[in-house]
Amino acid sequence: MGRKPAVCTMGGAIIRRFALFPLMLLILLLLPAGMVAQTEASSSKYIATYESSTQTLTFKENVGETLPENSALVKDKKTVREINRKLGNVTIVHIVFDKSFSTYTPTSLNGFFTYLEKLETITGLEYLNTEKVTDMCNMFSGCSKLTSLDVSKFNTVNVTDMSGMFNNCSKLPSLDVTNFNTANVTNMSRMFSNCSKLTSLDVTKFNT
């Protein structure tokens, strides 16, 4: 049996310690849902915020202690599709990496952009810090609407898996991977599979 609330007597009247609980509960229930959501403490200081008018998902550092509207936390090993589920499976046409995001250092980007079939542009990839990343398997796999992709600033010194990295990026005419350090890469299978529009690709500097 549960513990009964303490009872005290004042002038013959019985005052229960928890008498105010129903009132407090009622106040919480009457709060706007958005206000309750905004009080969620952020366990990660990096977020992805969606702007519906432009169908753009922006990755940035969260400067506040609450989670802004239409935002989701960004955590290591979580893909954009997983983030999108938190946002209600919105349509993502553009992705932007803000400069403030450059201090985020994931260890895995496995499938990070996988099968974002409506994604047309990625801006600010130089602010996606890859210095600690070991896994880029299927990173852009299935991004079939991308017509340009600047990965020239990627730091790949610790990467061991690049398999399927650009698989089915069927509209990319060129890729600059000349700065890729592949010394530690052990798997490159299907790295450029089904990139049917590629007309320029220089891998002569690969040192795997």
Tokens coding 165:
């990295």
Query: Alpha helices, DSSP H only, in the chain?
Result: 21-30, 33-38, 80-86
Is residue 87 within 8 A of residue 70, CB to CB? The reply is yes
Alpha-carbon torsion (39, 41, 47, 48), positive or negative: negative
39-48, 115-124, 169-178, 193-202, range with the lowest pLDDT: 39-48
Predicted model pTM: 0.79
Query: Residue 26: which pLDDT band, with cuts at 50, 70 and 90?
Result: low
pLDDT for residue 23? 52
Cα–Cα distance measured from residue 28 to residue 23, given in angstroms and rounded to the nearest whole number: 9
The two beta strands, 56-61 and 174-175, are unpaired
Q: Which two tokens stand for residue 13?
A: 């009247």
pLDDT the model gives residue 24: 54
Per-residue pLDDT tens over the stretch 42-89: 346 999 999 999 999 999 999 988 999 999 999 999 999 999 999 999
